[in-house]
Amino acid sequence: MNLPRTTLVIMVGIGLILAAHFSLWVTSLKFTSIASSVILVTAHPFLVGPVSHYFFGEKLSRINATGILLSVIGVIILVYGNYGFPSIALDSLEGNMLALLGGVAAGFYILGGRKIRKNVSVTSYALVVYGIGTLALLLICILFSAPVYNLPMRDYQIILLMAIVSGIFGHTFYNWTLKYIRSSIMSVVLLGEPLVSTLFAFAIPWIHQTPSKYTIFGGAIVLIGIYMTARKITTSENLHKN
């Protein structure tokens, strides 16, 4: 792995941002409701869209921008419909701020991946970013006295399963696509995670959880938003913008 020093430094920074995302989001769940945490941490398209538009040259049309807005609205319907609107007692400014900062970190993680993956292989990218992220999270756990040993075996099994399925396979496939697909699209596509999780819960025989009307309605809006965000800017739209 022969990488320029500047590229390597940026990848280390992306790894630290990834660690910040996970630590901020997971910690927020101790201080605020699941619904508020999920909504705030998935608000990253509002950051990724404008930054990629003005700084990466990945132009957004009005339809693309509307798609981003619709996708976030769909997630709000899906999450709040299933978890309910939290009472003030369940929310705290600290928890909401942690979740929001976790969303900002997710946005910069997406933008950094889009920038670096154009010239770096997914293998090299994953090794450096995941490695730094893992070490940073371990250090955070030690500094804040979070339990990392003597946990129940079932907890270790779940953690390992999450690391393999969601981390190694899920994140790596996602980072592979960043070389070919606009960051704004990938940011919005991530909003489909609650919908996909619900479909898996319905399809797996020993779970077989029927999706609620909020999941179906909100999920449909998310899919429409993803489609609108992914639409290419047509010639007529370019002329209208000019």
Q: What is the pLDDT of residue 31?
A: 85
Q: What is the pLDDT of residue 164?
A: 87
Q: What is the pLDDT of residue 195?
A: 73
Token pair of 77, please?
């319907």
Q: What is the pLDDT of residue 193?
A: 76
Q: What is the pLDDT of residue 211?
A: 75
Q: What is the pLDDT of residue 116?
A: 94
Q: How many CB atoms lie within 10 A of CB 10?
A: 18
For 223, how many CA atoms within 13 A lie in the half-sphere containing its CB?
A: 8
Given 3-state DSSP classes, what are the helix, strand and coil percentages for the chain, each rounded to the nearest 5? 75, 0, 25
Q: Is 228 helix (H, G, I), strand (E, B) or coil?
A: helix
CA angle 38, 148, 17 (to 5 degrees): 45
pLDDT tens series, the chain, 242 aa: 678 899 999 999 999 999 999 999 999 988 887 777 888 888 899 999 999 999 888 888 999 999 999 999 988 888 877 666 655 455 678 888 999 999 999 999 999 999 999 999 999 999 999 999 999 999 999 998 888 888 888 888 888 888 888 888 888 998 999 999 999 999 998 888 777 777 776 777 766 677 778 888 888 999 999 999 988 765 444 434 44
Q: Are 58 and 52 in contact (CB under 8 A)?
A: yes
List all residues 6 or more positions away from 108 whose beta carbon is below 8 Å from its beta carbon: 14, 17, 47
CA distance 73 to 109: 22
The per-residue pLDDT for range 83-109, each reduced to its tens digit, is 666 554 556 788 889 999 999 999 999
For 100, how many CA atoms within 13 A lie in the half-sphere containing its CB?
A: 7
CA angle 20, 25, 28 (to 5 degrees): 125
Q: What is the pLDDT of residue 242?
A: 43
The CA distances from residue 54 to 48, 57, 60, in Å, are 10, 6, 9
Q: What is the pLDDT of residue 108?
A: 95
